[in-house]
Amino acid sequence: MIKGLAITPPILGRISIGKVVEKNGKRLPERDDQFTITSQIQGKDGWVKHPLDEQLRAKAPNQKLRSIPVRMIFNDPELNLRAEYSLFDRQTGRPVCVGNGETCQRQTNQGIEQHPCPSPDLCPLVQGGNCKPFGRLHVNLDESDELGSFIFRTTGFNSIRTLAARLSYYHASSNGLLSCLPLQLTLRGKSTTQSYRTPVYYVDLTLRDGVNLQQAIQMAKEIDQQSKASGFNQHAFS
């Protein structure tokens, strides 16, 4: 096996809260007030929608997809959500520098070097605000492929901070049975001074509608027992 190869869950599709619009002859990304589930194929009209998008949208009020039932693949919160500061080359789209707020790995002419990571506000390398937090959340949507994932990518602090907190809380409250909890991605909005009082949408991770925490923990225990009885070793998997 290749040393240093990052092992990540197979990706079946994407989850986004944005869309592509045409302005002055250019196709530009724009924030949306609902989720969109797509495949990994991009056509001339944008990302091709995944069949699950239509199935879930048909059940949603006004066909606005603002919540998605999900299951975490791992019990460890940090395996489900990965977040770091990232500076990308605008020509190639490849990462130039990736850091965690303490140290970073930077691509230079001499190879990959390690440097202190003071965060984007204080980094001398960053110009024009191109270094941003970059989060990737892996979730399972389709029970027919329990080890496959749909990925939600975000550069928003609100989503990253909220998802990290929720994963930590649910992991602690369920005694580590995070992958067995009935969860859903929920779209939330708020207005701030920085957004000039216009709505800013971010992603939260909540229990599914109609389920309280005690019920969710009991369900997680039952699922964990059933999995162990069938021979599935979640502990080794995560």
| Residues 75-111: tens digit of each pLDDT | 999 999 999 999 998 888 889 999 999 999 998 888 8
Give the model confidence (pLDDT) of 122-167 as tens digits.
888 776 678 999 999 999 997 778 889 999 999 999 999 999 999 9
Closest alpha carbon to 47 in 73, 19, 68:
19
Q: Supply the pLDDT for residue 195.
A: 65
Taking the C-alpha atoms of residue 238 and residue 78, their distance in angstroms, rounded to an integer, is 10
Q: pLDDT tens digits for 176-235?
A: 999 999 999 999 998 877 766 788 899 999 999 999 999 999 999 999 999 999 998 888
DSSP notation for 178-230: GGGS-EEEEEEEEE-TTTTTSEEEEEEEEEPTT--HHHHHHHHHHHHHHHHHH
Pairing label, strands 149-154, 11-23 = parallel
- Is this prediction's pTM over 0.85? yes
Q: How many CA atoms lie within 13 A of 206 on its CB side?
A: 14
19-57 tens-digit pLDDT: 766 677 666 667 788 999 999 998 887 889 999 999 999
Residues with Cβ < 8 Å from 166, sequence gap 6 or more?
Answer: 204, 205, 206
Predicted local confidence at residue 237, as pLDDT: 72
